[in-house]
Chain A
Amino acid sequence: MSFVWRKRLFLLLFPLLLALTVWQARIESDLNAFFTATTEQDSKLLSQLLQSGELSRRYLLVVDAQNNSNLTPFAANLVQQLAKLEQVEQVWATNEPPRAWLDALSSYAPYHARMFSLNPEQETLFNAQALEKRAAFLKSALLSPQASFIKTIAKQDPLLLSLQGFKTMQSQFAQSSALNKNSVAIILQSKPAALDSAAHQQLQDAIRQCFNQLNQGQSFQLNMSGVPVVSVATYTEINRDVTLVSTVSSLAVVLVFLLLFRSFAALHWVMMIQTASFVVGALAVLAVFGHIHSLTLALGASLVGICVDYPIHIMVHGAKHKTPLQDVVRLLWASLFMGGLTTVIGYVALGFTGFPGFEQIAVFALFSIAASLALTRWLLPALLEHSVLHIAHLPLIGAWVEFCGRWRKVLLPLFVLGTIIALLLMPELRWMNDMQKLAMNMDVIKQQDKAVRSHFANIEPSRFVLIQANDLETALQRSEAAERCLQTLKQQNVLNDYQGLFPWLVSEQLQQKNLETYQQANIQPTWQAALQKQGLSVEKLGVLSNSASVLTKQALPPVVSSILSGRLIESPQGITISIWLGQHDPDKLIAGLQGLDGVRYFSQKDQLDHLAKQYRDSSLKMLAVGIVIMAVFIWLQQRRLKNVLLTLVPSLAAVLFIFAGWAVMGEEISFLHVIGLLLAVSLCVDYGIFFIENRAGDTDVTYHAIASSTLTTLASFGALGLGKTPTLPILAVSVSLGVTVGFLLCPLLISKKT
């Protein structure tokens, strides 16, 4: 095809590609999808808890009274208004249980004989004295403001046994009430997944709007916290990073390009090629995953700095030798293809590290690099057919090549010595075990969170006791065994509180034990005497039923499922129950739960740290695998082991020296550092290939072309360093260091003769 038609075809297809991308674009902002979504069972559970766990979806709101009276009715009104918001599942003030919960309790009355205790054998509920007390309590309750509620239950359950297990819930509300004298604490359970930042941004705006409307003419204050608040703040920061990094990265590459070639005509054609490559990458990700993450776009933008290397390489050679680009492309194509292939291998290896976000980036890189290579090969000469190219002379480049050549005999032993020292330093490397260090620094939000949480009876959002079993009955039995242990540990002050499933759901085994204890007690005559003494109706309250059908989950009102939604997870793999914990001593708690079947302590933080270790191990493995695969491909092209080694040595040495530098500095290494170096290797190997093949037969020009590529790579990856998300600066430092050291080592390790 002639150059003219190639150009016309590109100009026709380019806007179509752009339009298709805009039309198809589904941009994902869910951080979980990028950071923790994985297939391993525990990680999956962690991801599920972060994503849709009840505690993760909760907002903690505190209304402060300042000098206002009428706080309670104001808060009640606010609760009513918030309940009307579309994205709100439930909302309640923590000093009184929600009305729906109280209504649900009355449905337990018929099952009272089956659910009054977790330890029925140890109960002393049925002796004469206890029954007299119970009758007195019943009378008092029938005369209290709660009379209507109590009367409904007492008609089916005169001893109010069905309420026995719920006493702890009452004490939790009372505890919260005591914490809030001049404020009202409100829990708002949202419908969207915790990390669905866009939905939560809208919900938070709606909550504030609702509060401001009610607060007109008054001076109440609203404070808000909870996982979704952190999620939205993170999302905002990441968005800021994405915009900043993409803009600075693109501008930096443009600037470097202009400094090198001083041609706006060349710039706009090359940038069109890069935009087309970017669009192809984005379309490929959309086709494979159905959506593209905003962080993929941010990191993808840095790929521009890599993809632009291919046209730059051609243009530098063309400008230096005043050769038509068509001929240069033919001459250098094999090196370019191999360079692109090794970069793709690096990115694909990245996709296999297990870090979900990098799977998208791997696909993005594969298609972007392929598109950039193809467009450089077949389109670039057509686009720049009439352009006269000039290349700026980069100072010191020739001098460095010259210096390395002249002093190689001295420098090489120094290099070997440095390599030995670096190897000896490897055991000193410090690995980062706390994934929290990779989280964004949000001190203000953390302080606000601490202040808000002080108004709530403390249930920790990220540590649980997990119970797993194949069926619900076994899971409930295990959960009840765990709760008995937790009761003991609570008495020993190992934990201050917990929230389990009992008595919302009771195993059939425990129901049977309760029923037997109740039947054996034979309390009817004593109970009737106690009723008589209190002036209560023996006729209506004195006939006790000795049997009741089994309490099943299906018999309960739907609100119970909603109350337990985050604590009971049913899946094809089985049943998972989580018991929420208050403040506790993890070691003593783990020891206390030891020996219980299917019961274990689960900490989201530990799990995240475990994930971090897993990612680190797999990234190290992938670094090795990536290097081996690159070596195989280089060998297939070069067929000389020595050349393969020489191509790889600058990048491997760069990685080794950087690791050693970090070891000396005491830098904590995370999987992101390793991933950055993996990328650096895949880029540096290109330099090795170009340098060793030196197809133009002019080392100075080849090294100039490599230097130009290095500059664009530094410009684009350096921009990542401006990000506030720690992931980005880590990648910026490791890739930039890697390519710089690799670039400098090329003329030292690969002699002109080779």
Chain B
Amino acid sequence: MKWFVILLLFVQSVSADTLSEVLSLLHQNTAAKFQYQEIRHLELMTTPWQAQGELYNDANGRLIKLQLQPNRIVMAIADGQMLYWEPAQNQRHTMPLTYEHEATQQIRLFHALLQGHTEELSKDYTFHAEKNAKTWALQLRPKQDDLPKLDISGNADNSQRDMVIHQDSESTEYHIQRVTNDSALDKTVADLLHEAAGE
């Protein structure tokens, strides 16, 4: 029996180490620009819907998702709120991230992962991490049925990530590629925030 307990502790320790390594790879605390491609498989659409654009992250923890194709949409997370602006439909929304609303659920998840704020996810999710010399992977499984589940993977130099969010019968894939680390991005982030807020 003793050897089983020792083995279990060893396995857990290996697993915890892997998880913290993977989480540290996820953590992004400097200004960075990414390109992304998004593919959505929605219940009410016949074909997958595709979009592409840019993601901006700044050192203050602000995140901008700028969709460029098929139409321009600015979605931002800053100062504890989510801003949404779709010029083509003249739709603008502002809502707090603490607001118990499904509308902010996915973007909050996305933001927490990109920022490496996994501690706030741990109350709702269980984590499973894998890592080898070339790639790593992280699975998040919700403790409640109404939350989305998530698979995220990346390469060793962390220049590329793939993320799949599953909810009900729908899923959203993100293929994200780092373009640059640049502190000059702050102005772009500020401009996009103004656009989202309609200022």
Taking Cβ atoms with an 8 Å cutoff, the residues of A that contact B are 69-77, 80, 95-96, 99, 137, 139-149, 151, 154-155, 174, 177-178, 181, 532, 535-538, 540-541
Q: Are A151 and B43 in contact, CB atoms less than 8 angstroms apart? A: yes
Which chain A residues border B79 with CB–CB below 8 Å? 69-73
Whether A73 contacts B82 in the complex (CB less than 8 A), given A148-B102, A149-B102, A535-B49, comes out as no
Per-residue 0/1 for B70-102: is the Cβ within 8 Å of any A Cβ (1 yes, 0 no)? 000001000111101010110111111111111
A53 to chain B, nearest CB (A): 29
Q: Which residue of B lies closest to A145 (CB)?
A: B103
Quick one: which of B40, B79, B198 has the most chain A CB within 10 A?
Answer: B79
Complexed CA–CA distance, A137 and B88 (Å): 10
Q: Roughly how many angstroms separate A144 CA and B42 CA in the complex, as a whole number? A: 12
A-B contact pairs, 23 of them (CB 8 A): A69-B79, A70-B80, A72-B79, A72-B80, A72-B94, A73-B98, A75-B96, A76-B99, A80-B98, A96-B99, A140-B86, A140-B88, A142-B45, A143-B42, A146-B93, A148-B103, A178-B198, A532-B46, A535-B45, A536-B44, A537-B45, A537-B46, A538-B46
Contacts of B80 in A (CB 8 A): 70, 72-74
| B89 surroundings in chain A (CB, below 8 A) | 137, 140-141
* A146 to B103 Cα, complex, angstroms: 5
Which listed residue (A72, A181, A538, A541) contacts B199, Cβ 8 A? A181
**Hey, which chain A residues are within 8 Å of B42, CB to CB?**
142-143
Bound-complex Cα distance A141 to B89 (A): 9
* A34 smallest CB distance to B (angstroms): 43
Evaluate contact between B44 and A145: CB separation under 8 angstroms: no
User: Is chain B's binding surface mostly helix, strand, loop or mixed?
Assistant: mixed
Contact across chains for B95 and A96 when beta carbons are under 8 A apart: yes
Q: Compute how far the CA of A95 lies from the CA of B44 in the bound complex, rounded to whole angstroms.
A: 30
Contacts of B88 in A (CB 8 A): 140
- Residues of chain A with a CB closer than 8 A to B84's CB: 144-145
Establish whether residues A540 and B43, one from each chain, have CB atoms under 8 Å apart when the complex forms: yes
**Is B144 interfacial (CB 8 A cutoff)?**
no
Q: Chain B 14-52, CB within 8 Å of chain A: the 1/0 string? A: 000000000000000000000000001011111101000
Residues of the B chain whose Cβ atoms lie less than 8 Å from the Cβ of A71: 79
Once the chains are docked, how many angstroms separate the CA of A75 from the CA of B42? 34
Interchain CA distance A146-B107 in the complex, whole Å:
12
A70–B79 Cα distance when bound, in Å, is 5
Q: How far is the CA of A76 from the CA of B42 in the complex (A)?
A: 31
Shortest distance from the beta carbon of B178 to any chain A beta carbon, whole Å: 25
Q: How far is the CB of A369 from chain B (nearest CB, A)?
A: 64
Contact of A140 among B91, B94, B95 (CB under 8 A): B91
Which B residues are CB-close (under 8 A) to A147? Answer: 103
With a cutoff of 8 Å between Cβ atoms, the chain A residues found around residue B104 in the complex are 145
Specify the chain A residue showing the minimal Cβ separation from B94.
Answer: A95
Nearest B residue to A532 via CB reads: B46
Minimum Cβ distance to chain A for residue B147 (Å): 12
Distance from B190 Cβ to chain A, minimum over Cβ atoms (Å)? 13
Q: Chain A residues near B40: list those with CB within 8 A.
A: 143
* A74 CA to B92 CA, complexed, in Å: 21
The number of chain B residues with a CB under 8 A from chain A is 34
| B97–A73 touching, CB < 8 Å | yes
Residues from chain A with a CB closer than 8 A to the CB of B44 are 142, 151, 154-155, 536-537, 540-541
Q: How far is the CB of B185 from chain A (nearest CB, A)?
A: 19
Known: A140-B88, A540-B44. A145 touches B94 (CB 8 A): no
How long is the Cα–Cα vector from A144 to B89 in the complex, in angstroms?
A: 11
Specify which chain A residues have a CB less than 8 angstroms from the CB of B199 in the assembled complex: 181
Expressed in whole angstroms, the minimum distance between the Cβ of B41 and any Cβ of chain A is 12
**Bound form: Cα–Cα A154–B42 in Å:** 13
- A144-B84, A145-B93, A145-B103 are known contacts. Are A76 and B47 too (CB-CB below 8 A)? no
In the bound complex, what is the Cα–Cα distance between A71 and B81 (angstroms)? 9
Task: Check B49–A143 contact: CB distance below 8 A.
Answer: yes
How far is the CB of B102 from the nearest CB of chain A, in Å?
Answer: 4
Question: Which 10 pairs of residues, A with B, have the shortest CB-CB distance?
Answer: A73-B80, A76-B96, A145-B103, A72-B81, A148-B102, A69-B79, A72-B96, A73-B96, A76-B98, A140-B89
- Min CB gap A455→B, angstroms: 15
The answer for the CA separation of A148 and B40 in the assembled complex, in Å, is 14
Chain B residues whose CB sits within 8 angstroms of the CB of A155 once the complex forms: 44
Asked whether A144 lies within 8 Å of B102 as measured between CB atoms, the reply is no
Closest to B100 in A: A99
Query: Distance (Å) between the CB of B183 and the closest chain A CB?
Result: 20
Q: What residues of chain B lie closer than 8 Å to A535, measured between beta carbons?
A: 45-47, 49
Besides A69-B79, A145-B84, 19 more A-B contacts (Cβ < 8 Å) are A70-B80, A72-B81, A73-B79, A73-B81, A76-B98, A99-B100, A140-B86, A142-B42, A145-B93, A146-B93, A146-B103, A147-B103, A148-B102, A149-B102, A151-B43, A181-B199, A535-B47, A536-B46, A537-B43
A95's closest neighbor in chain B, by CB?
Answer: B94
Give complex CA distance A76, B80 in Å.
Answer: 10
Q: How far, in angstroms, from A80 to B42 measured CA to CA in the complex?
A: 33
A95–B197 alpha-carbon span in the complex (Å): 13
Whole-angstrom distance between the alpha carbons of A481 and B73 in the complex?
40
Which A-chain residue is minimally distant from B97 (CB atoms)?
Answer: A73
Which residues of B are found within 8 Å of A148, using beta-carbon distances? 102-103
Alpha-carbon separation in the docked complex, A16 to B98 (Å): 60
List chain A residues, Cβ under 8 A from B102: 148-149
Closest to B47 in A: A535
Q: How far is the CB of A200 from chain B (nearest CB, A)?
A: 28
Q: Give A573 to B31 CA distance when docked, in angstroms.
A: 68
Residues of B within 8 Å of A532, CB to CB, are 46
Asked if A145 contacts B96 (CB within 8 A), the reply is no
| Minimum CB–CB distance for A314 against chain B, Å | 75
In the bound complex, do residue A177 and residue B97 qualify as a contact, i.e. CB atoms below 8 Å apart? no
Task: Give Cα distance in the complex from A141 to B47, angstroms.
Answer: 17
Nearest CB in chain A to that of B107: its residue: A145
Q: Which residues, 152 to 199 on B, are CB-close (under 8 Å) to A? A: 198-199
A96 touches B94 (CB 8 A): yes
CA A90 to CA B143, docked complex, whole Å: 31
Q: How far is the CA of A250 from the CA of B16 in the complex (A)?
A: 81
- Cβ–Cβ < 8 Å partners of B96 in chain A: 72-73, 75-77
* A536:B45 contact, CB within 8 angstroms: yes
Query: Bound state CA distance, A73 and B101, in angstroms?
Result: 13
CB of A690, distance to nearest CB on chain B (Å): 76
Return the chain B residue nearest A177 by Cβ.
B94
Contacts of B92 in A (CB 8 A): 174
CB distance from B25 to the nearest CB of A (A): 28
Known: A140-B91, A177-B94. A145 touches B43 (CB 8 A): no
CA distance A96 to B82 in the complex (A): 12
Residues of B within 8 A of A142 (CB): 42, 44-45
A96 to B101, CA, bound (A): 11
CB distance from A84 to the nearest CB of B (A): 14
Residues in A neighbouring B103, C-beta threshold 8 A:
145-149
Shortest distance between the CB of A654 and any CB in chain B (Å):
68
Q: Give A154 to B43 CA distance when docked, in angstroms.
A: 11
A99 touches B101 (CB 8 A): yes
Closest to A140 in B: B89
Min Cβ gap B151→A in Å is 20
State which of B46, B47, B91 has its C-beta within 8 Å of the C-beta of A144. B91
Q: Contacts of B101 on A, CB cut-off 8 Å?
A: 99
